Structure formats: C-alpha cells, structure tokens
C-alpha cells in the first residue's frame, strides 16, 4: 500500500516531452491569436469573409489544433461570430452600435479641430498640410485604385495627428481607441478612387480652415467629412452583409 502514492505520482506526472508539446501548442495558438486579432482590429479581414481553419493552418504552417484554439479565443473576445451554418466571420456591430460610434467620433473630431484652429501647434499643422499635399500629388488615378483598404491607415493617421496638434491628450487617446473599434467598418469607406480623392480634398479643406484660425469653418468641414464617411460605411457594410447572407443561404441550399 505504501507504493500507491508514489505510483500515482509517477503515472500522473507528464514527461518532459509531453510538457514541451503542450508548451509548443500553446505558443503556436498565442502567435496565431495575436496575428489574427491584429488583422481584425486593423480591418484587414473584410466584413462578410469566412474564416477557414485549413487555410490558416497552411498560412501559419501549423496544425489545425492551435488554429482552432486561437479562433475559439477570438470568438470568446467578441472579434468573431458564427453564421447560421456554423462558420466564423468578423463580428459586425449592429446598426445602433455603428450610429453611436460615429456620433461619438463626430463630437470628438469637432472638439479637436476647433482646438487646433484656435490654439494648435502651428508647426505640426503646417507639416501635416504639406504631407497631404504630397499625398494628393502622389495618389492620382489610376494610382488611387491600388490604395484600396490601405488608405484607411493614412486617413487614421491624419485624424490622430490633427488631434495631437490640438493639444488635447485625453481626446487624442479616446479617438485612438475609437479608431480601433470602427476600423473594420471604415475599411469600406475607401473602396473606390472617387472616395479616396474626395477624402484627400476634404482633409486639405479642413487643414486650410485650421491654418487660418477659422474654428467654425474647420468644424463645419469636419462635420460634413465625418457624416459623408458614415453614410458610405453604412451603405457598403449593408451591401457586404447582404452578400454574406446570400452566400450563407446558398451554402444551406447546397447542403440540403
């Protein structure tokens, strides 16, 4: 009887090889989770696209087990959701959530642009103006077509730098957090040359008013800019969702 406790401890203790295997699997799952979470937050996974385990396993050169664990975590965090067929897709905020997020963004953007026009860091604002004039010269049709979803990051940088130049650090921080939340939506704002060119022109229009100290004019331009963006996003996200449901229905019919 005296041997039983020792025997139990021996049988219950994992071998070094087993521990290494578990650690490697967890490490792989963490790597996949971090990369996919970054893609989702940066809007690099289009709304409506389906997440395929085998494709990810091939891409990350790993088995499906760590992929499955990473996807389970992302679903638990609310980054992914299941469609009626059980497939995983990026979570899309509700219409109400979209509206509320853009309402908050509009208030913050007006606040920082007024502050920038009245007492902002003039040198930083002039540098931002020169940068966007260079972008305007760089991105000309058909060059705008190659920008696509990548333009959202340039657009975000514009709004963040404008907020930083305003001197309101708290508003700048909140705007950055808000950008993370709506990036997956805003990616749909820049799917045409027309929208990219219009956004560049609107940025220069806003900066023009800011640099001459016209707070009311700058706020008006910013309000129109954000409202146009919200309108385009609502339309195109709606179209993406419609396509997603059509694909789901087609898959269900095919399975039947």
Phi and psi at residue 187, to the nearest 5°: -60, -25
pLDDT at res. 4? 42
Of 125, 213, 199, residue with least CA distance to 166: 125
pLDDT tens profile 99-124? 888 999 999 999 999 999 999 999 99
Nearest to 198 by CA among 219, 169, 220, 229: 229
Question: Which sequence spans correspond to the domains of the chain?
Answer: 10-91, 100-252
The percent of residues above 70 in pLDDT, for the chain, comes to 73
1 pLDDT band, cuts 50/70/90, is: very low
Give the residue carrying structure tokens 């806003």.
Answer: 206
The residues that bridge with 63 in the sheet, in sequence order, are none
Topology (CATH) of 10-91: Arc Repressor Mutant, subunit A (1.10.10)
* pLDDT of the residue at 194: 84
Who's near 217: CB < 8 A, 6+ residues apart? 209
10-91 against 100-252: fold identical: no
Residues 147-190: tens digit of each pLDDT: 555 788 899 999 999 999 999 999 999 999 888 777 767 766 67
Q: Which residue has the higher pLDDT, 69 or 151?
A: 69
CATH architecture, range 100-252: Up-down Bundle (1.20)
Q: Tell me the whole-structure pTM to 2 decimals.
A: 0.65
Q: How many C-beta atoms lie closer than 10 Å to residue 88's C-beta?
A: 19
**Can you give the pLDDT at residue 98?**
81
């Amino acid at each position: 009887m005296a041997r039983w406790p020792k025997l139990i401890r021996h049988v219950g203790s994992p071998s070094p090889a087993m521990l290494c295997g578990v650690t490697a699997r967890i490490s792989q799952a963490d790597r996949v989770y971090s990369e996919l979470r970054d893609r989702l937050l940066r809007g690099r996974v289009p709304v409506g696209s389906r997440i395929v385990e085998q494709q990810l396993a091939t891409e990350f050169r790993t088995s499906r087990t760590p992929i499955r664990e990473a996807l389970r975590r992302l679903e638990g965090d609310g980054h992914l959701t299941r469609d009626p067929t059980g497939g995983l897709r990026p979570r899309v905020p509700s219409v109400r959530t979209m509206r509320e997020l853009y309402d908050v963004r509009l208030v913050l953007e007006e606040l920082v642009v007024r502050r920038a026009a009245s007492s902002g860091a003039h040198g930083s604002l002039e540098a931002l103006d020169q940068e966007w004039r260079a972008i305007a010269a760089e991105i000309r049709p058909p060059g705008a077509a190659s920008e696509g979803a990548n333009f959202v990051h340039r657009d975000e940088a514009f709004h963040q730098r404008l907020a930083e130049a305003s001197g309101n650090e708290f508003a700048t921080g909140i705007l950055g957090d808000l950008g993370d939340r709506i990036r997956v939506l805003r990616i749909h704002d820049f799917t045409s040359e027309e929208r990219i060119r219009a956004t560049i022109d609107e940025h220069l229009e806003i900066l023009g008013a800011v640099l001459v100290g016209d707070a009311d004019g700058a706020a008006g331009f910013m309000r129109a800019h954000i409202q146009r963006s919200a309108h385009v996003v609502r339309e195109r996200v709606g179209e993406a969702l419609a396509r997603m449901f059509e694909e789901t229905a087609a898959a269900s019919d095919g399975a039947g």
